[in-house]
Structure 1
Amino acid sequence: MAAPLLETVSESLGSPEPAVRLILSILIGYPCALLYRRLLFHQPATVIHLFHSFSGLALAAFNFGSQLYHSVVCVLVQFLMLRLMGRTVTAVLSSFTFQMIYLLAGYYYTATEEYDIKWTMPHCVLMLKLVGLSFDYYDGGKEPSQLSPEQKKAALLSVPSLLEVCGFSYFYGGFLVGPQFTLRSYQRLVAGELTDCPGKPPNSVVPAMKRFGLGFLCLLIYAIFSPYYPDSYYQTAEYEAQPFWYRCVFILLWAKIGLYKYVSCWVIAEGVCILSGLGYNGVVDGKHQWDACANMKVWLFETTPLFSGTIASFNINTNAWVARHVFKRLKFLGNKPLSHVTSLFFLTIWHGLHSGYFLCFSMEFFIITVERQAQALVRDSPLLTRLASSPLYPFIYVVQQFIHWLFMGYPLVAFCLFTYDKWLKVYSSVYFCGHVFFLVAYLSMPYLRKALVPKKERKDKKQE
């Protein structure tokens, strides 16, 4: 009976059935969190782990059927690695290698030329959780003086039980689309420590409903406007027949609307985490914070004119995971750009094996490099500094925001169209304007510095 009903709902909404199942599964997290608050908050840890494990497995079965065995296999293998290999570098490397190869094999054997909601979608979230678990267990065997503050916060002092690892892996608030959180945070949730009133469920209903409302608004925007900006339009003769300016503006609007698909899911899922208590983040300036599981800074995302600002506001927990477990762990290389490139390469293959991912993240690296040089130029040039604080700034902001939104969408063309033949066709139709713009900017920057930065300033910079 459920299947025909879902088919009817998906047809009426004009959305694929897997997408409807996913949204429903995220929403089911709210009654699960209420059930936990009302009936299970004071129950023993074993009962809570069982509830989280079985509710997460039920969501996996609802979305992916028998393919849920992929996650079960990886969770069991990870637990055995922790138990049998202990706190060793070998355990960390083995965990990383096994979980990454399993995910990439999944991408390879299930790949199509379209974006499909299949078992690999939550599995990439699970892969980060399990590899992070091996890092945190390894850190638990080090002296506290050897750890950074964030490593101390996440380090595991004892090996977790299988039931604990299952509850952590399948927790309904983060299994399908994230966010990322550590086992230590999960342990504190189960122990009833993540609350603003000790010994009682947290007063988090209002903060959770605010995030739900915001997420639902983003979902509504996406549902209303996305039919006007389909990916398939790029491959039509009609798109090619449009004037150059129209094709560029279409990329801008298509990307802006398309990203709400991710924003809505993450913000609604964050509300589930807040309602359960996992989103509690202590007290700052006398106010209780509920942003421990924030995966989006929506206001920053909407208002920043900087590419770095968009990155800082988007998929926050995944970026933080990569910074903590990849970028900072490569400190021994003594080369920040190399660590940055390696981190982006990891993010690329973590997303999948399509050529579009490689182009997107290489463009991201290049764009951020140029933006940092431009920011340094504005900071060092008295003329540009005055201009940035002059009454003309609102006009400059509008121009900068247009450039930002346009070229934020430009790399996403490759990210969303996946294959070489599709994204090449689109980039050719706009004459590779993004590549040209940033290449010209990069090559022009030394000459602009000579023209706009006083010689004394340039000498001081060289000496630094």
Structure 2
Amino acid sequence: PLMIITQKITTLACQLHDGIGRQAEELTAEQNRLAVKSRPSLLEYLSYLLNFMSIIAGPCSNYKDYIAFIEGRHVHMKLLEVNWKQKGYDRLPDPSPTGAVMYKLCITLVSLILFLTLTKNFPMAYIIDNEFLDKTPFLSRLGYLYVVTQAAKPKYYFAWTLADAVNNAAGYGFSGVDERGTFRWDLLSNLNIWNIETATSFKMYIENWNIQTAAWLKRVCYDRAPWYPTALTFILSALWHGIYPGYYFTFLTGILITLAARAIRNNCRHYFLSSVPLKIAYDIVTWAVTQLAVCYTVAPFVMLAVEPTIKFYKSVYFHMHILSILVLLLLPSRPQTHSVRRAQNQAMLNSIKSK
């Protein structure tokens, strides 16, 4: 609960600062949309922090969305945002969350079954077992690392999908209408399982895993950091998770791999877009590398302690660390233009100096 409350307090603080302490021209479009222009009452504040739907497992939501839900205008507001008349409706629809809730409850049931059957049979600790390390070739160890990482996922799928379903059942989480005219109840969704399992880049994986936490990190850190936003965001994520050393191994490794993956994509991807077979081959290779990179990165997160983490890294020869450093040293950096970010950061610095 404290982790979720931390997210909510900092989210509201940043959005209040955007609404009260900054000029509109200093804000991005998203910051302007979410800015809170008046201080909430004590009751509103405590309700936002401690509401029963998200107090245990989240997810964190934006203050304006939550207040709109409490005041009974959440669905109407989202329909207006997507211009429901252009979606083929001749009168204001009244979407029901029942279908979305039932679908998500089915996912939680499957995830629970997988957790009870797979997770205990494929423990992460086995990848550093001495007998396993002595008898298993390197590539087989990587394959088993992928298997045990997959086996560790169902508990997260279960908790986050159930939390999403609880909010939807209360009528919260409506996000609009898609291109086919289907009502969407994914405003508070914390993961996209299909995109996770088929991710062809480290960035794509991160964006679909713990989505609301990633959005929180982006809004309170990445979009506001004047320098090194990627590194600072990963460090903040580690601090938010807690004090176990494994968290810091994971997120510091994540910085390296994210930067290396970005460099490879910027320098190489365009060579594989000229034909369909090349694109398919590129996607297959990047999928395999992404999945292995994620497994390598998150293993310390599960192990938590220093000794098993170092033993694991030694057993796989620190290969992802070495490859990432080589990529960053050998490939030319091709940073995208961040004129908007630079202007925003300069405006922020000027605002701070003026105070």
TM-score calculated relative to the size of structure 2:
0.81
2:3 alignment partner, one of 93, 110, 124: 124
Which amino acid is the alignment partner of residue 415 of structure 1? F
Q: 2:207 corresponds to which residue?
A: 312
Check conservation: 1:280, 1:292, Cα contact below 8 A.
Answer: yes
Choose from 376, 381, 386 the match for 2:266.
376
Give the equivalent residue in structure 2 for 1:364.
254
Report deviation, 1:391. Answer: 2.7
Aligned equivalents of 2:120, 2:12: Cα separation in 1: 40
Structure 1 contact 294–317 (Cα < 8 Å) conserved? yes
Per-residue CA deviations over 1:45-91 (Å, capped at 9, x if unaligned) read xxxxxxxxxxxxxxxxxxxxxxxxxxxxxxxxxxxxxxxxxxxxxxx
Candidates 124, 141, 152, aligned match of 1:231: 124
Q: Determine the C-alpha separation between the residues in 2 that align with 1:444 and 1:238.
A: 37
1:208 aligned counterpart, secondary structure: helix
Identity over aligned pairs, percent: 24
Distance 2:94 2:44 in 1: 21
Distance in 2 separating the partners of 1:400 and 1:284: 29
Inter-CA distance 242–438: structure 2 relative to 1 (3 Å threshold): farther
Q: How far apart, in 1, do the equivalents of 2:131 and 2:94 lie?
A: 56
Instruction: Report Cα offsets for 1:292-349 as digits up to 9, x if no partner.
Output: 111112221121221111011111111111111112122xx3x4xx122112111111
1:433 matches 2:303 = no
Is 1:211 the counterpart of 2:91? The answer is no
C-alpha distance in 2 between matches for 1:434 and 1:224: 30
Task: Check whether the contact 2:109–2:158 (CA below 8 A) recurs between aligned residues.
Answer: yes
Partner-residue secondary structure (3-state), 1:179: coil
- Distance (whole Å) between structure 2 residues aligned to residue 305 and residue 282 of structure 1: 27
Q: Residue 20 of structure 1 corresponds to which residue in structure 2?
A: none
**SS of the counterpart of 1:160?**
coil
Q: Tell me which residue corresponds to 2:161.
A: 267
Give 1:139's match in structure 2, choosing from 18, 28, 32: 18
After superposition, residues 30-109 of structure 1 pair within 5 angstroms as: none
Partner Cα separation in structure 2 for residue 210 and residue 288 of structure 1: 13
What letter matches 2:185 in structure 1? W
For residues 273 and 200 of structure 1, the distance between their equivalents in structure 2, rounded to whole angstroms, comes to 20
Report which of the two structures shows the higher radius of gyration computed on alpha carbons: 1
Structure with higher helix content: 1
Pair 1:346 & 2:236 matched: yes
Residue 256 of structure 2 aligns to a residue whose secondary structure is helix
Q: Deviations over 1:165-192 (max 9, x none)?
A: 2221222322122211122211111111
User: Conserved in 2, the CA contact under 8 Å of 1:216 and 1:268?
Assistant: no
Q: Which amino acid aligns with 1:356?
A: G
* Structure 2 counterpart of 1:258: 152
Paired residue type of 1:224:
T
> What pairs up with 1:314-333 in 2 under 5 angstroms?
314-330=209-225, 333=226
Q: Secondary structure at the match of 2:200?
A: coil
Higher alpha-carbon deviation: 125-134 or 211-220: 211-220
Corresponding letter in the other structure for 1:320: A
Give me the CA root mean square deviation.
2.9
Structure 2 residue 178 is matched with structure 1 residue 299: no
Instruction: Name the amino acid aligned to 2:202.
Output: F
Match of 2:34 in 1: 154
Match of 1:172, SS?
coil
Question: How far off is 1:242 after superposition?
Answer: 3.0
1:245: how far off?
A: 2.4
> Using a 3 Å threshold, how does the CA distance of structure 1 residues 437 and 138 change in structure 2: closer, same or farther?
closer
Q: 1:379 to 1:302 in 2, by over 3 A?
A: closer
Equivalent in 259, 263, 276 of residue 170 of structure 2: 276
Matched AA of 2:163: A
Which residue is 1:420 aligned to?
Answer: 306
Rounded Cα–Cα distance in structure 2 between residues aligned with 1:137 and 1:440: 43
Secondary structure class of the residue paired with 2:258: helix
Give, in whole Å, the separation in 2 of the partners of 1:204 and 1:436.
Answer: 48
